[in-house]
Copies of this chain bind each other. A is one copy, B any other.
Amino acid sequence: MMQKRPRQTDVAKLAGVSPATVSVILNNRLDGNVRIGAETRARVLAAVEQLGYVTDPVARSLAGGRNSLLGVFTFEPIFPLQQRDFYYPFLVGIEQEAEQSGYDLLLFTSIRSIDGHRRIYQGNINRLRVADGAILLGSEQSKEELRRLVADRYPFIFVGRRELADTPISYVAADYATATAKIVAEMLACGHQQIVYLGALNENESHRDRYTGYLVAHRQLGLSHLVATAQRIGAQVITPAFLQQELERGITAFVLESGGSLIAPFFQAMTTLGKCAPADFSLAVLGDPLTDFVAPYPVVSFTIPREAMGRRAVQLLTELLQTPYLPQMRQETLACTYSPGVTIAPPAFSHSSI
């Protein structure tokens, strides 16, 4: 049967001091007017050791201290069966930094997913509050819940840029805009004048950032008039007929959002047409490099700094927790790494007439 855990009072009794003293020593408080004698401190620490005492984080947290618990909340299952690659690299970074900072990680697994996604507020409870602050991840996030979190002044950092109408929120994001701009600029420099932007149906912040990069690249060269509107399309739209049509109307280069499952259909359709990059068209993927399985040749793309984002999110969160009176907002953007490929070359029939 289970022994009751030792309490602070037990330690206090054993050491012959008051609970307050134990608390002060354990929290290493160095306030000007709190000073503990070396002898007392030693006695208390000895008692702590002897009893195997560990502060109850729940009580500590209630009493207004902090509990060294960093929440990790994902809107999808944390360890998804399918896309195991999605969260993993973030978690690697998060764990590394948590270890450095001496925080434990609290995964909110008690939060049942309802119709496929999890909600922070269940009934009336913000479960996240058991942790000092939390790192949020996930694409299926509910803006409504974020808004409420901000209103509740709960400290959190989103991994990935998220925006709310009136309310700025803290995040660590990948710099999709710059990465995309660089690639599109490369295409423009090659002489492409009709670069079509193919995006997935659901538009979110990271998609918008990519599109911004696309626009910026054109604008910087004074080529704004060449910009085509982005096409947000379902994967099933990408057929040989569709791409044929695009090529015929003078499109010489494509940039594809990753993650929207546009990529496999694209290659399939192009193969059906007997078209190949960079001979027949130029191509870049706006996201992580493709595996050999998906692409027949190295496609120009960029790497999202997932681990670094995880690490940085923990750093920012711990900063937030240590300075509770400063504005609770941090927004940071980390650079993506250009990933070379063989898919960008001058267009076969240059329409250049600048």
Closest to A65 in B: B58
Closest to A48 in B: B124
Q: Which of A115-138 contact B (CB under 8 A)?
A: 121, 123-127, 129-130
Q: Is the CB of A58 within 8 A of B130?
A: yes
CB distance from A6 to the nearest CB of B (A): 9
Number of copies: 2
Contact check: which of B77, B81, B107, B152 meets A5 at CB < 8 Å?
Answer: B152
* A186 close to chain B: CB less than 8 A: no
The answer to whether A125 and B91 touch (CB under 8 A), given A2-B155, A102-B110, A109-B98, is no
Binary per-residue interface labels of chain A (322-348) against chain B in the complex, 1 for a CB within 8 Å, 0 otherwise: 001110100000000000000000000
Please, which residues of chain B bring their CB within 8 A of the CB of A113? 99
CB distance from A128 to the nearest CB of B (A): 8
* A143 close to chain B: CB less than 8 A: no
Q: Is the CB of A92 within 8 A of B81?
A: yes
Binary per-residue interface labels of chain A (60-97) against chain B in the complex, 1 for a CB within 8 Å, 0 otherwise: 01100001110000000111010010001001100110
Q: Which of A149-175 contact B (CB under 8 A)?
A: 151-153, 155
Contact size range, A? 35 or more
Please, which residues of chain B bring their CB within 8 A of the CB of A291? none
Binary per-residue interface labels of chain A (212-234) against chain B in the complex, 1 for a CB within 8 Å, 0 otherwise: 00000000000000000000000
Q: Is the CB of B125 within 8 A of A49?
A: yes
Closest 5 CB pairs of A and B: A49-B124, A98-B109, A54-B129, A105-B107, A2-B324
23 CB-based A-B contacts, threshold 8 Å: A1-B153, A1-B325, A2-B151, A2-B325, A26-B124, A48-B125, A53-B124, A55-B125, A56-B62, A56-B129, A57-B129, A58-B130, A69-B106, A77-B96, A79-B92, A95-B107, A99-B112, A99-B113, A102-B110, A104-B130, A105-B109, A106-B106, A106-B107
Q: Which residues of A contact B (CB under 8 A)?
A: 1-3, 5, 26, 48-49, 52-59, 61-62, 67-69, 77-79, 81, 84, 88, 91-92, 95-96, 98-99, 102-113, 121, 123-127, 129-130, 151-153, 155, 324-326, 328
> Given contacts A58-B61, A77-B99, could you give 13 more A-B pairs where the C-beta distance is less than 8 Å?
A1-B328, A2-B153, A2-B155, A48-B125, A49-B125, A52-B124, A54-B121, A54-B129, A57-B125, A58-B58, A79-B95, A102-B110, A104-B107
